[in-house]
Structure 1
Amino acid sequence: MTPQFLRVAVVLGLLSAIGPFAIDMYLPALPTIGADLNAGTAAVQMSLLVFFLAMGLAQIVVGPISDMIGRKAPLYIGLVLFAIGGLGAALAPNIEWLIFFRVIQGLGASAGMVVPRAIVRDLHTGTEAARLMSLLMLVFSVSPILAPLTGSLVIEGFGWRAVFWVVTAAAVLAIVLLSTSLKETRPVEHRAESSVGSALSGYRFLLGDRNFLGLTFIGGFGIASFFVYLANSSFILIDHYGLSPSVYSVFFSINAVAFIGMSQLTGLLTERFGLHRVVRVAVVGYATMMVILLAVFSAGVDRLDVLAVLLFIGYGFLGLVIPTTSVLAMEEHGEIAGTASALMGTLHFATGAVAMAVAGLFFDGTPLPMVFGITISAVVAFALAQVTLGRRRETAVGAPAE
């Protein structure tokens, strides 16, 4: 593994982490924001939901633009928008203005979600792509480990508004790294082949590709299960179980450790067993853990230690699902990598946002509605994997024929 390979992984991971950092640092503040701005739980959750929606839907535009004008320019524009949204959120006088600036922030964050995946496809395919994607996710996943704890310390010391000053500073740092440490990976001659018409044709083609859609939604429902947890965990763990914001941050980080640890085995496992087989086994493991969790809580058990253990194991399996399905979905679409990454990201976030909104309708302050939403998402991902990968393919990517 060369220093160049590691440097690219670190820079892409940091660019990808900007958006999630603005989510994860913000989570411990949700109850405080509601009290400070005289807003109910639904309104405070809306400030999280609109960020997800903006970040997801904007990818559909950013991806083709990165095919047309190169990868770096959309990243610069996105980071500037993100910083403007962060400044506005820090100064928001009420929940309505906070929601508005969170939309701006989400639009900017979309570039950091879609373009790095396209850059991975520009540079590598197969096992090497899976290895780079897993390293990118290692850096990316530092966010849910450090961000909630950092956020809780910032909130306790300086108030919730300071969170947005910090993420704005992170965007400025990302602009510096982008300008000094990452080269353009989309050659000019390839850009000439891309246009609005080709993007629309690409979307039509991808929407008719069952393999692409199946793999995208396997990852999408995996991510949706985590979005449900994001939206509800602070209220449940802080209000229901009585954890302090700092302890909540540690609890939240434990699941990220499981996700990171397993995702780093992606390269090794896919080289040995093939991407398809890894996806199938990981989805089975994840769905099984979540079904057990639902059965336990439906039986009347309401224990934080049980929730922690089963989520830890489940999110470990999920750490194998996300990078492998992303690589497989984009493997055959190198010429329209930005467009493919955009559609995949939009579908991921749209799926997650819908799951989050539906779970929010049934929120009652207890863990059961959250657990139910997580489990349904995991089971749907499992079912899609059986349909999409049920028949062995002659040429498994990254491994001999399965």
Structure 2
Amino acid sequence: MSAAVASRAAEPMPGDLMTGRQRLRLVLVLGSLIAVGPLTIDMYLPALPAIVDGFGTTSAAVQLTLTGTLVGMAVGQLLIGPLSDAVGRRRPLIAGTALHVLASVGCAVAPNVATLGVLRVVQGLGAAAAAVIAMAVIRDLFSGAAFARLLSRLLLVMGVAPILAPTLGSAVLRWTQWRGVFVALAVLGVLLVLVAGFGLRETLPPERRRRGGLRPTVGLYGLLLRDRTFVGLVLVAGLAMAALFAYVAGSSFVLQEQYGLDEQEFGLAFGAGAFGLIAATQGNVRLLRRHSPQRILVTALAVGTGAGLALLGFAATGIGGLPAVLASLWVVLAAAGLAIPNAPALALAGHGEAAGTASALLGAAQFGIGALAAPLVGVLGTGAAAMALVVAGCMVAAQVVLHLVVRPARLAAPEVPVVAVATH
């Protein structure tokens, strides 16, 4: 290790100086903010069949409204990440959350599915602020294994959102029509603007901010895209997230229409899968005490790929029925719960100087690839086999990218100093 690297390794990160109470408060604040994304995606899932009937359209057209949200989140992160590196974290976060509130109100009064789709894109743009800035704030304060541990804790908080969202959506549908789901999201957004305004301090001091402008931003993105390991890990994280979005896009139709679950039963089944994902993210904290992030990532993707292929077999043949499909799905979700915190931690380890921009590229890949996976499920059909094919395909692709692009042996080599960075 060079003298410069050794000097940086001896210098603690700001988060290393935080007390346990301060870390808990940070996780709760960021978790409540970042939950707006999962709630926006998942809360209206039980209403998808009702939206199809209400607008007299097709299931594929309504699934495109989900795709619109993911596209908005992908594009929004590419814009907001560099902006937050230039002006700080708080102002883009508050502005984005306010935009989400306005879009939610628009969705509640949308006259047709095309308008709803456009407004869902705007919703995604607003939700992107919380997604990218939460990641950047953690990277401002922590790195390496410490980053992965804090991200796992954050996923515990934000993981409650996918569990509660379909159940909350189902509860809203018991009292009102599908438009009431978006009214509830608008009210929640107002509360989150207050949380962002009063509960989060600025973590990027002026001396660490980058000069704005198109040329520096494009140059920085070009620098990141020339880092083969970073790009590979971004693709791995995106494909793992795409497997989840394929499940999200198809589960409402598969579980309610093919297997006959009602809205409340669907909420429980969906929540059980999210619980498995949360359990894996929290198990990741314990695993990081004994194993490196790269070892956990390699193992998780191997297990997830096997479970994805098993899911495809069960869905295509009908063997085992709904229990077999759900069990294999839940294993895939748990594997993703281990992969999703560790791939970003490894990807961002060497790019703390541009945490907002690097986080934006990472988040854009996750939601962008997810945006491709969601309509693909609709194009292939609304049955379990179509959903399983996309889920399994994403896990297999992530495995291929990990071994051919990232190359775990290189990832573990000294030139990728994850442990050193964790202490600098």
Normalising by structure 1, what TM-score?
A: 0.96
Structure-2 change in CA distance of 1:368 and 1:192 (3 Å): closer
Q: CA deviation at 1:298?
A: 3.0
Aligned-residue CA RMSD (Å): 1.6
Q: CA deviation at 1:183?
A: 0.5
The one-character-per-residue Cα deviations of 1:209-237 (angstroms, maximum 9, x if unpaired) are 11001111111101101111111111111
The one-character-per-residue Cα deviations of 1:63-94 (angstroms, maximum 9, x if unpaired) are 00000000011111101110010001111122
Identity %: 36
User: SS at the partner of 1:242?
Assistant: coil
User: Would you say 1:151 and 2:172 are equivalent positions?
Assistant: no
Q: CA deviation at 1:267?
A: 2.4
Match in the other structure for 1:397: 418
User: Would you say 1:197 and 2:215 are equivalent positions?
Assistant: yes
Match in the other structure for 2:387: 370
Q: Which amino acid aligns with 1:377?
A: C
Q: Which amino acid aligns with 2:402?
A: A
Structure-2 change in CA distance of 1:246 and 1:300 (3 Å): closer
Q: CA deviation at 1:313?
A: 1.8
Structure-2 change in CA distance of 1:192 and 1:313 (3 Å): closer
Match in the other structure for 1:79: 97
Match in the other structure for 2:398: 381
Q: Which amino acid aligns with 1:211?
A: T
User: Would you say 1:207 and 2:233 are equivalent positions?
Assistant: no
Residue 276 of structure 1 contacts residue 389 of structure 1 at CA under 8 Å; is this kept in 2?
no
User: Would you say 1:344 and 2:362 are equivalent positions?
Assistant: yes
Q: Which whole-Å CA distance do the structure 2 matches of 1:192 and 1:366 have between them?
A: 48
Normalising by structure 2, what TM-score?
A: 0.91
Q: CA deviation at 1:193?
A: 4.7
Match in the other structure for 1:218: 236
Q: Which whole-Å CA distance do the structure 1 matches of 2:165 and 2:318 have between them?
A: 33
User: SS at the partner of 2:203?
Assistant: coil
Structure-2 change in CA distance of 1:302 and 1:95 (3 Å): farther
Match in the other structure for 1:332: 350
Q: CA deviation at 1:390?
A: 2.9
Q: Which amino acid aligns with 1:303?
A: G
> Which runs of 5 or more residues in structure 2 are unaligned?
1-18
Q: Which whole-Å CA distance do the structure 2 matches of 1:286 and 1:78 have between them?
A: 34
> Which runs of 5 or more residues in structure 1 are unaligned?
none
Residue 228 of structure 1 contacts residue 355 of structure 1 at CA under 8 Å; is this kept in 2?
yes
Q: Which amino acid aligns with 1:374?
A: V
Residue 139 of structure 2 contacts residue 147 of structure 2 at CA under 8 Å; is this kept in 1?
yes
Q: Which amino acid aligns with 2:385?
A: L
Greater CA drift, 196-205 or 236-245: 196-205
User: Would you say 1:64 and 2:85 are equivalent positions?
Assistant: no
User: SS at the partner of 1:272?
Assistant: coil
User: Would you say 1:116 and 2:137 are equivalent positions?
Assistant: no
Q: Which amino acid aligns with 1:375?
A: A
